[in-house]
Structure 1
Amino acid sequence: MIPGAAEYDVDLTVDEERVDRLLAVTPADVDAAPELSFARNVFVPLTTACRYTCTYCTYYDPPGQAELMAPDEVRDVCARGADAGCTEALFTFGDDPDERYDAIHDQLDSWGHDSIHTYLREACKIALEEGLLPHANPGDQTREQMATVADVNASMGVMLETTADVQAHGGPRAKNPGQRLNTLRNAGELSVPFTTGILVGIGEDWADRAESILAIRELHERYGHIQEVIVQPVVENERWTDGTPDLATMRRVTAMARAGLPDEISVQVPPNLAPARDLLDCGVDDLGGVSPVTDDHINPDYAWPALRELEDIADEAGVPLRERLPVYERFVDESRGDAEWVSDRIREAIEWDDVHGERFRSVLRTGENPA
């Protein structure tokens, strides 16, 4: 049983035979993708407050030091991103700030917000006004919290990281794999196109990696909502000095992700953190979001590659490189029963917005950004 699954009433048990089959996969068992994609984004680190204290993370700040972006700062970053041709506003968080962050909550209250999620909704509206499609990653969310912001997001995400109970999540404020899976389930029930991923090298073993991939697959098979899975190595930083996975590990786990996931789910590696050139033959088809404007605020020591470098990676692999939106094309084109994958607000921005829509439509249909 996955730790915490029963606590959050997540009915999910990964079959051991499927785990064993996935553990036998090698890079030779998968094919290289026929093309590579990427998104052009800006990072908007809405708050550095976080209820967790993961030992590998440099993003969070403790109470008294955490920051909260003001609305005019959000608008400025988004405007600069739109001017640079970006299509995505990536809203990053620590997980929902707890009661220790009294200064953060006081500031939210002074702006007329009773939670970080109602403020996130305002920030997403600002991004839309400035010509970007929001993709929010606010960590673990209840169904009510996600519903508060779903209609103003083109897609959303949270890293599952692992289904294992690892010491790197340890302490009195540890992440709970069951809670993470509950967030993925909430996204499926709310028809939110979703990005998730595994974090490699934080104390999980090979069986844990296989189980994590298969858990994502099972939830996708129920709801059809996972658009991409990130295979991300933990990297050295001022808080994490226990090493990063070697190339052989990354090649094997990337191939496992490709073999273990349905074909419609993209396998992504972040090119500023992983040796992307050496992983392309393991089934990678996406290089994630990169920014010409902002740093990677989650991993500030690791600079984004320039677009020219992404083109070189694709050229070396002999495949085309195309730009994409933060929501994959199939979710814009499809509905699921009575539920639309994207809200009217997002669809209007993509298809009918006279000011910004040309850029979105061009990326969606041709993979080329007129900006």
Structure 2
Amino acid sequence: MIPGIDEYDVDVSVEEAAIESLLDVGPADVEPAPELSFARNVFVPLTTACRYTCTYCTYFDPPGEASLLSPEEVRGILQTGVDAGCTEALFTFGDDPDDRYTAIHDQLAEWGHRSIHEYLREVCEIALDEGILPHSNPGDQTYEQMQTVADVNASMGVMLETTADVDVHAGSRRKTPGQRLNTIANAGKLSVPFTTGVLVGIGEDWRDRAESLLAIRELHDRYDHIQEVIVQPVAENERWQDGTPDRDTMRRVVAMARHALPEEVSVQVPPNLADARELVDCGIDDLGGVSPITDDHINPDYAWPALNELETVADHAGVPLRERLPVYERFLPAELRSSGFEGRVAEGDDWLSGRIVDALAEQSVAGERYRAVLAGD
């Protein structure tokens, strides 16, 4: 049984035979993608507070040192992103930061908010007002927390990381795979286009990697909501000196991901953490959200590549590079899809709220920018 899953109302059970079959997959068993995509984003680290203290993570600051961006600071960052042509506002913060950090809780209360999710809703609305689409990654979320912000996000995400019980998640407030799977399932129940992924090299074994990918596949089969899966190597930093996965490990995990997931789900590697040129023949088709103006605040030691570096990766693979929105085209209403769209349309309820559809369709500079990305201009 996946650790922690019995504590949540989520049913994920991966068959042993499926795991064994996936363990036989390697780069020779998958085909390269016909194109590569990326999103142009601005990174907004809403707060550096987090209830967890994972030993590989440099994002969190201890109580007393963690900061919280004000609405004015957020608006300034977003305006810079809009000026740089970004279409995605990537909002991040640690899991339930107002639970562990008294100062963060008190600041939110001073601004009139009972929780960090209420504040997230405010800044997502600021993003929409400024003409940029929110994509929020606020860690584990209950159904009610996600429901608070779902309608003001074009898409959302959380890394599963692994289904294994690994020592790097140790501590009095231990992160469990059951919590993460519950968050991914909540996104499906709320019809939120969703990004997730696996973190490679944090103590999991090959069986754990196969199980993690198949668990994601199982939830996608149920809800049809996963838009992309990130295969991310753990990166050395001031808190993590236990190495990073080698080239052959990454090639095999990426191939397993591509083989395990349906065609409509993209497989992504972060180009600032892995040499994408070594992985393009293993099935990746996306290079993630890349910012022309802000750091990768999760991995500050690893700078985003410039656009011409992404073009070099695509040239190496011999495929075109295209820009995309933070929400994949298959989730858009028919009238907003590009005339050349040939992918499978997402099934089920309407995926985007009226607020997001209006932002995409409005006759404004922002709307024109979104449609230009869809048209490949």
- The alignment partner of 1:184 has SS state of helix
- The alignment partner of 1:192 has SS state of coil
Distance 2:244 2:346 in 1: 41
Identical counterparts, % of pairs: 75
CA contact (8 A) 2:161 2:198 kept: yes
* Alignment-derived partner of residue 342 in structure 2: none
* Alignment-derived partner of residue 352 in structure 1: 362
* Alignment-derived partner of residue 376 in structure 2: 367
* Alignment-derived partner of residue 258 in structure 2: 258
CA contact (8 A) 2:331 2:351 kept: yes
Count of aligned pairs between the two proteins: 366
- Correspondence 1:267-278 to 2 at 5 A: 267-278=267-278
Q: State the Cα deviation string for residues 258-297 of structure 1 (Å, max 9, x = none).
A: 0000110000000000111000000000000000110000
Distance 1:301 1:209 in 2: 26
* Alignment-derived partner of residue 65 in structure 1: 65
Q: State the Cα deviation string for residues 210-249 of structure 1 (Å, max 9, x = none).
A: 0000000000000000000000000100000000000000
With the length of structure 2 as denominator, give the TM-score of the two structures.
0.96
Distance 2:121 2:363 in 1: 20
Give yes or no for the alignment of 1:140 onto 2:143. Answer: no
Alpha-carbon deviation of 1:172? 1.1
Distance 1:109 1:207 in 2: 45
With the length of structure 1 as denominator, give the TM-score of the two structures.
0.97
- The alignment partner of 1:6 has SS state of helix
- Correspondence 1:13-24 to 2 at 5 A: 13-24=13-24
User: Alpha carbon RMSD of aligned pairs, Å?
Assistant: 0.9
Alpha-carbon deviation of 1:340? 1.1
* Alignment-derived partner of residue 35 in structure 2: 35
Distance 1:97 1:220 in 2: 28
Distance 1:335 1:121 in 2: 25
Alpha-carbon deviation of 1:367? 2.7
Distance 1:355 1:317 in 2: 34
* Alignment-derived partner of residue 318 in structure 2: 318
* Alignment-derived partner of residue 340 in structure 2: none
Give yes or no for the alignment of 1:54 onto 2:64. Answer: no
* Alignment-derived partner of residue 172 in structure 2: 172
Alignment gaps of 5+ in structure 1: none
> What amino acid sits opposite 2:104 in the alignment?
I
Which deviates more from structure 2 when the two are superposed, residues 352-361 or residues 280-289?
Answer: 352-361
Distance 1:268 1:211 in 2: 18
Alpha-carbon deviation of 1:194? 0.1
Q: 4+ residue stretches of structure 1 with deviation over 6 A?
A: none
Distance 2:258 2:98 in 1: 37
Distance 1:85 1:170 in 2: 41
Alpha-carbon deviation of 1:129? 0.9
Distance 1:170 1:343 in 2: 38
Q: State the Cα deviation string for residues 169-203 of structure 1 (Å, max 9, x = none).
A: 01111111001000000000000000000000000
